[in-house]
Amino acid sequence: MDGIKENIDEGCRALAPHDLRGIKVIRVERGIKQCDLALDAGITQAALSNLETGQSRAHHGTACKLAEALGISLPALLSYSERIKTNGGENK
């Protein structure tokens, strides 16, 4: 029964709103304009700006669309964002 609870807990964490502050570093490193990434992901530039600054968190579907627009997996995007958050906004 504990295995089922762990799977449910992990699934809930995966669907929780995501902190994507690291997305700006990826976007800038790839030379992508904020307006272009927002358009490719189907969100507004203002929404992307709020995600990049940590003023808002992305719902799972939005995070998936952003990862796809960047050509990376969602786990890679979340891992990168977690490293950025942990390192105070720097990619180390």
- CATH number, residue 30: 1.10.260.40
- Six-digit token string for 28: 């800038």
Helices (H), 1-92: 2-15, 23-29, 34-41, 45-53, 60-70, 74-86
Please report whether residue 9 resides in a domain. Answer: yes
- Better pLDDT: 53 or 3: 53
Please report whether residue 24 resides in a domain. Answer: yes
Which residue is listed with tokens 């709020």? 50
Domain of residue 71: give its range. Answer: 2-86
* CA proximity to 47, closest of 75, 26, 66, 29: 66
What is the tally of structural domains in the chain?
A: 1
Please report whether residue 81 resides in a domain. Answer: yes
* CA proximity to 48, closest of 76, 75, 26: 26
Give the model's confidence band at 87: pLDDT under 50 very low, under 70 low, under 90 confident, else very high: confident
Please report whether residue 91 resides in a domain. Answer: no
Please report whether residue 38 resides in a domain. Answer: yes
* CA proximity to 53, closest of 85, 76, 78: 85
Please report whether residue 92 resides in a domain. Answer: no
Per-residue pLDDT at 86:
76
Please report whether residue 49 resides in a domain. Answer: yes
Question: How does pLDDT run across 10-66, given as a tens digit for each residue?
Answer: 444 456 788 998 899 999 999 999 999 999 999 999 999 999 999 999 999 999 999
- Six-digit token string for 69: 């627009």
Please report whether residue 17 resides in a domain. Answer: yes
Taking the C-alpha atoms of residue 31 and residue 88, their distance in angstroms, rounded to an integer, is: 22
